[in-house]
Structure 1
Amino acid sequence: MPPKRKANGRTTRGVDGAATASTSPDRKSSRVADRSDAKPSPGCTPALEAYTLHSLAKPIAFRTSQASLATFFKAGTGKSKDSVKDTNPVATAEGDNPADGIEWLRAGSLILGLHGSPKSSGKVAFFDLDQTLITVKGNHRFSKNADDWQWLFKDVPERLRKLHSEGYKIVIITNQMGLRKAFDKGNTKGFTQFTIFRDKLNQVAASLQLPFQLLGAIAPDLYRKPNGGMFHFFTYYLNDGVPARLADSFYVGDAAGRANHWKPGVKADHSDCDRKFAANLGLPFQTPEEHFRGEAPADYQYPGEFDPSTFPAPPLSLTSDGPGSDTTSGTYPRCCTAETLKLRSGDSPEVIVAVGFPASGKSTLACRVIEPAGYVYVNQDTLRTRAKCVEAVRAALAAGRSVIVDNTNPEAATRAHYIDLARAAGCPVRCLHFTAPLAVARHNSRFRAYGRLEPREFIVRNALAAELDHLEELPTTIPMVVFHTFNSRLEPPTADEGFSEVLPLNFHLHPEYWGAEAPTMLAKWRCWHE
C-alpha cells in the first residue's frame, strides 16, 4: 500500500493544460464569443481552428410546457420572470443578466449548460457539482426528482456571488455518465433522466442568480475527469479566447481520495478523480470543506501501486536477468534494440512469440524494432482469426523468413501452434513475456485511445466524426472484460513448453519511440486517465 500523502503535498504537473490558448474569433454574442453556425464544407480538410462553438455544439431539443417553466421559477420565491430579473444586484451588471434561463447544447459526448452571459476572465473558479455545490435531500446518492436537491452548505450561493464580484468566472465541471443513455434514439427513460437533471439545474440557476457555464461529460473519454477535455473545451470555445491563468484560478471537488474516517464518522471519498483532474492541469485544488468551511486539508492517497507521474523513467528494457544487462549494478541496456534482443539475420530464421496484456508494449516493440529488422509481422487483430495467424507463420517459415507473433497468447495451448511450426521448420522459437501489470496496461489503453490526441483534435472529431467523411472514427479504449479474460487465462510461459529462451520484459517509457514529439507525449502519458 503506498504511503498516505499530506494534503497539498503533491506538486501539480500542469502538463495537460499547458497549451490552452484559443484562436477563436473575438465576436461577442448574447452568451458566448462565437455564435456563428458556419461550418467548413464537407469533403475538405479544414484547420481545426476553423470550427466554432455552434458548428460543434447543437441545441438539445425539449418540449417546453407550463410545468417546466414553473419549475424554473420555483426557486425564485414565486416571482415572475420580469421581477426575478432585477432581484440580484450582482447579476444586473451589463452582459451578466442570467434571467433568460439555461441554454442546453450537446457536442458529441459533452453537454453544455450556458446560463446568462458571463464575461471572459483569466480568473476562473471551477467547481464540481454533486456533493460540492449541491447534494440530495437525504442519505441516498442520486436525485430522485428535480426537487431533490439542496445547497451543500447554506452559504454556497453567498460564496459564489463573492467570487463573481471579485472577477472570477464560475464554471461547473461534472461527470454525468448516468445521462449517457439519454441521447440514445428511442430511449425515453434515459431522456427522462436528463429532463430531471435539466429541471434541477434550472432551479439551481434561479436560486443562485449568477451567470455560469456547465460542462458535463457523458462518456468515458477525454472529457471525463480526471482527463482535462472539459477544461480545454472551455478554453477554446467558452471564454472568448482568454486562457485561464492557472495561478489565479482553482478547482473545488469532493472526489479527493480521502480515506475512510478522514473525519470522524465520514466515509471514504467515492473517487479521487477531482484531485487528479486538478493535478493533470496544474490547477490549485481544494475540497468543499476546505473552500467553504475553511477546514484544514485532510490526508489522502491514490489507490493501488501505479502513479503515472512517478512511474520509472528508464526506457523499455530487458529485466535484470535478460541478455545485455548488468545484474550486479541493476543497470539496463538503453532500450530494446535489434542488438540487445539478438535478432537474427535473414539466412537464419526464428519465431518470436509475444505474451502479455493488451496495451503492454508488444506492438510498439514489434513494429518499431523487430519488424524493421526483416521479421514478418503476424497479428490476429489484422488477420482476424488464429487459423490465419498460424498459416501466415507457416508461409513465412517456408520462405525462410523470421516471424514475430504479436498476439496476447495467454495460454500454452495457443503458443504450442507456433512452437510446433518452428520445430517442423528446424528453427528456434523464443518468447518475449511483457510483464506490464494490469494498471499500466489500462493506463496505456486510455492514453492510446485519446490521451495522446491534441485536445482540439479530439473535440472536433468527437463532435463531427459521424457527419464528415474526412474525420476518422476516434479509437476506443479496450473493454475491462478483455483485461480480466487475459488475466484469468494466463499461463506464464516457460522453457518447458519448447522455447529456447523466455525473456521477461518490464514496461518502461522509451521517449525515443516518439521521436521529436517525445517531450509532449511523455507529459501526456504522465497524466492520470482514470
Structure 2
Amino acid sequence: MNRENESLTVILVSKSSDVPDLKIKEGDKMMIGRNPIAKIKNIKCPRKLYQVELRAEISNWFVFLTNLKTNETGILKEGETIKGPGFEYEVKFDKVAYVSEPKDDNNEISAIRKSCDEDGEDSVNSTPTKKPKLESPIKKIMESEQPSHWEEVDEGSVQIYHYLGGGKPSSKIACFDFDGTLVSVKSGAKFPKDGSDWKLWDKSLPGLIQKSTDGGHRFVVFSNQKGVSTGHMSIDNVKQRIESCLAAIGVPSIAFLALKDNIYRKPRPGMWYLLQNCYNDLIDINLEESFFVGDAAGRKSALNKDHSCADILFAMNNQIGFLTPEQFRVGKRPKKIGDISPNLHNLPPFNPKALRDSKASPFLELDENGKESSKFANLNEVLNKINLVSSNGSHCIIFVGLAGAGKSTFFTERLAKEDYYRINRDELKTMEKCEREFEKHIKANSGKTVKLVIDNINNDNASRSLWLNHCKTHNLTPIAFHFNISREHAIHNNTYRRLLNLMCPDSASPAVPDWIISNQAKTFVPPTRKEGFSLVFKVNFQPIFEDRGDREIELYYMYLNEK
C-alpha cells in the first residue's frame, strides 16, 4: 500500500440491527460503549468499554483495542470481530485516494459531517457534560430540518419516535405518560378502536407543554404499550396515535414506547436509562428540576381509581417529581418522593427501598408458642446452637418458604460452604426421587455425621411431616428454617429474577409464574416446634448479590411491579 497516495478508514460493521456501523480515521480514537456515538442500548454495557484506534507500522494497518475495564490491549486485523454486551462488530478497511476537497458552500450535509468529525474525538474522550455546546449555524440548520422518524431498540422491545428531531437535549426533563395523560379515547370506549380514536386529554396541553420547554425542559413521552406484543393492538395504530398527538401539540419531542414486559416497562427504569445514556447527549439530568406526569398513580378517591401505580412508581424509581394530569393542568408543583402520601395513593405494601435500612436481626429463634425467644447476628451462631441440641451432630434443616424467598440462594451462598448436602425437588422433579435421594445419602454416610438440607417449599404441616418422619427414623435432629417473606416481597424477588434472566441469558436464577406464589401464600402455614421440630428459626430476608454489577444491585431496590 502506498500511504502517500492513499488514506485509510476502518469501518466497524455492526452485526446488530439496532447498532450502527462505526468509522474511524487514521490517528482517531473512539469509545465503544453505551454512548451517543456507538448507540449501544444494552444496559449491561458500560458507557466506555473499549477504546479503538487505527494505527499503522510501516505498511501494515491494524486496529489497536484497549479494554477500559481491565486495561488489557490487543490488535485486530481485517475480518476479526469485537464483541460485548449488545454489540458485535467486524473490522473492515476502506481505502480512499487522496484528493483535494473542493469547496462547496451549498453542501450543508458535507459541512455538517465535517463539523461532527471535528468534534467527535473530544465528545467521547472528555466528560460530555463539561463541554459547552457550540450553537453554530450549521447545527441549527441540522436541528430545524431533521425529520421526524421512528427507531427500534433492543430487538423490538422499544419503539422510539423522534418528532421534529426529538427536541433539544437538556438537563431538565418534562416527561409524560401517553394514554390517559396526553390523550383520551375519543369514542369513549375503554381502549382505542383504531389509530384515529384519540383526542387531546385537555385542550390546554399544547400551551402548558410549550411553557415547560420555553423554561428549558425537554418534552419526553414514556408509554407502556405491551398490547402490541400480546396482539391486542396494532403497532401501526399505536404509531398513528403517537404521531397525530405530538403533531397536535406541536413541540419537538422524543417518545419511548415499551412493547414488552421487560426492563423497559414502567415502573422499571429501562426507558429512563435509554434517555439518560443514549438520547440526551450524556448531559447529567437535574433530578430536582425534572418531573413526570401520569395518570397511573394508585389514587384511592371515588373520582380516580387508577388501574395501577406504574407512573408514580416510575417517578419514584428515577427520583424525579410527580404530578397527575389534573395537577399539571392547574399548575401545581411536582411532588417530591418524600411528599407522596400513602393516604392518597394506594402504593404497593412492599417497599424495596426500605430493605437498605432494615435493622431486623437476620435470624430469630422461636419457642414452643411461636414467640421470638433469641436473636442471632450471623449464621455461625445459629449453627452453634444447632450443634448443641444435636446429640450425635447429625441433623436435617428443612427449608420452609414461598417460591422467591431466597431459599436456594441461601443454601448456595451460605450452607453449601458448611458442607451441607441438599435435596431439592426442582432438580429431582418428583417427591419420590427426593425421598430416594434422602435414603441413599443416609446409607452412603452410615456412621458419619450427616448434615442435610431439604430445599423445597414445605408450606404446610403435611409436607413437613414427611421429612419429620424420615428424620425420626434415622435419628436426625429436625430443624426448621422459616424464610420470613411476604407474598409481595416474593413476587418482587421473582420479577427481579425474571428480569435478570432476560438481561443476562447465562443467569442461573429461575423464575416462576406469579400466580404460583399467590397460591402458595394462601395455603402457607408457618412451622412450629409443636410439629416435632427441635428448633425453629425465622430467617429474615437479606439480599445476596453474588457478582452482580452496580446497575443490577440498584435495580433490586426499585419498584418492579405496577401494583
Q: Same fold (TM over 0.5)?
A: yes
Matched pairs, number: 428
Indicate whether 1:254 and 2:303 are aligned. Answer: no
Deviation at residue 154 of structure 1 after TM alignment: 0.5
Deviation at residue 449 of structure 1 after TM alignment: 3.4
Contact map agreement 2:481 2:536 (CA 8 A) in 1: yes
Alignment equivalent of 1:374, drawn from 404, 408, 419:
419
Indicate whether 1:479 and 2:523 are aligned. Answer: no
Paired letter, 2:433: K
| Relative contact order higher in (CA < 8 Å, ≥ 6 apart) | 1
Indicate whether 1:24 and 2:35 are aligned. Answer: yes
Paired letter, 1:250: F
Paired letter, 1:526: Y
Q: 1:239 to 1:475 in 2, by over 3 A?
A: farther
Alignment equivalent of 1:305, drawn from 344, 349, 364:
349
Write the distance in 1 (CA, Å) between the matches of 2:367 and 2:359.
Answer: 16
Deviation at residue 353 of structure 1 after TM alignment: 1.0
Q: 1:44 to 1:365 in 2, by over 3 A?
A: farther
Indicate whether 1:509 and 2:528 are aligned. Answer: no
Write the distance in 2 (CA, Å) between the matches of 1:352 and 1:474.
Answer: 24
Rg comparison, structure with higher value = 2
2:136 paired residue number: none
Indicate whether 1:358 and 2:403 are aligned. Answer: yes
Deviation at residue 358 of structure 1 after TM alignment: 1.0
2:204 paired residue number: 155
Q: Counting strand residues as a fraction of each chain, which structure ranks higher?
A: 2
Paired letter, 1:122: S
Alignment equivalent of 2:527, drawn from 493, 498, 503:
493
Q: 1:386 to 1:514 in 2, by over 3 A?
A: same
Q: 1:339 to 1:517 in 2, by over 3 A?
A: same
Indicate whether 1:105 and 2:105 are aligned. Answer: no
Structure 1: runs of 5+ lacking an equivalent: 1-21, 29-37, 53-91, 183-189, 466-470
Contact map agreement 1:98 1:209 (CA 8 A) in 2: no
Write the distance in 2 (CA, Å) between the matches of 1:248 and 1:359.
Answer: 37
1:174 paired residue number: 223
1:528 paired residue number: 559
Q: 1:244 to 1:518 in 2, by over 3 A?
A: closer
Write the distance in 1 (CA, Å) between the matches of 2:284 and 2:474.
Answer: 63
2:376 paired residue number: 333
2:122 paired residue number: none
1:31 paired residue number: none
Deviation at residue 506 of structure 1 after TM alignment: 4.8
Write the distance in 2 (CA, Å) between the matches of 1:158 and 1:403.
Answer: 68
2:309 paired residue number: 272
Contact map agreement 2:36 2:278 (CA 8 A) in 1: no
Q: 1:289 to 1:162 in 2, by over 3 A?
A: same
Give CA deviations for 1:375-405 in whole Å, capped at 9, x if unaligned.
1022222222222222222222221421111
Contact map agreement 2:365 2:536 (CA 8 A) in 1: no
Structure 2: runs of 5+ lacking an equivalent: 1-32, 40-51, 53-64, 66-75, 90-138
Could you tell me the TM-score, scaled by structure 2's length? 0.66
Residue pairs, 1:426-437, within 5 angstroms:
426-437=475-486
Quote the sequence identity (%). Answer: 23
Paired letter, 2:466: H
Indicate whether 1:394 and 2:411 are aligned. Answer: no
1:208 paired residue number: 249
Residue 309 of structure 1 aligns to a residue whose secondary structure is helix
Residue 154 of structure 1 aligns to a residue whose secondary structure is coil
Write the distance in 2 (CA, Å) between the matches of 1:165 and 1:440.
Answer: 43
Write the distance in 1 (CA, Å) between the matches of 2:481 and 2:508.
Answer: 30
Paired letter, 1:253: G
Contact map agreement 2:81 2:88 (CA 8 A) in 1: no
Give CA deviations for 1:102-161 in whole Å, capped at 9, x if unaligned.
414242432322323233222222111111111112543321221211111112112223
Write the distance in 1 (CA, Å) between the matches of 2:263 and 2:393.
Answer: 46
Contact map agreement 2:366 2:536 (CA 8 A) in 1: no
Write the distance in 1 (CA, Å) between the matches of 2:363 and 2:292.
Answer: 41
Q: 1:449 to 1:314 in 2, by over 3 A?
A: farther
Residue 114 of structure 1 aligns to a residue whose secondary structure is strand
Write the distance in 2 (CA, Å) between the matches of 1:371 and 1:27.
Answer: 43
Contact map agreement 2:406 2:541 (CA 8 A) in 1: no
Indicate whether 1:94 and 2:162 are aligned. Answer: no
Could you tell me the TM-score, scaled by structure 1's length? 0.70
Alignment equivalent of 1:410, drawn from 445, 456, 459:
459
Q: 1:476 to 1:256 in 2, by over 3 A?
A: farther
Write the distance in 2 (CA, Å) between the matches of 1:245 and 1:49.
Answer: 28
Paired letter, 1:179: V
Q: Give the aligned CA root-mean-square deviation in angstroms.
A: 3.8
Paired letter, 1:443: H
Contact map agreement 2:483 2:541 (CA 8 A) in 1: no
Deviation at residue 474 of structure 1 after TM alignment: 8.8
Contact map agreement 1:315 1:509 (CA 8 A) in 2: no
Deviation at residue 527 of structure 1 after TM alignment: 1.8
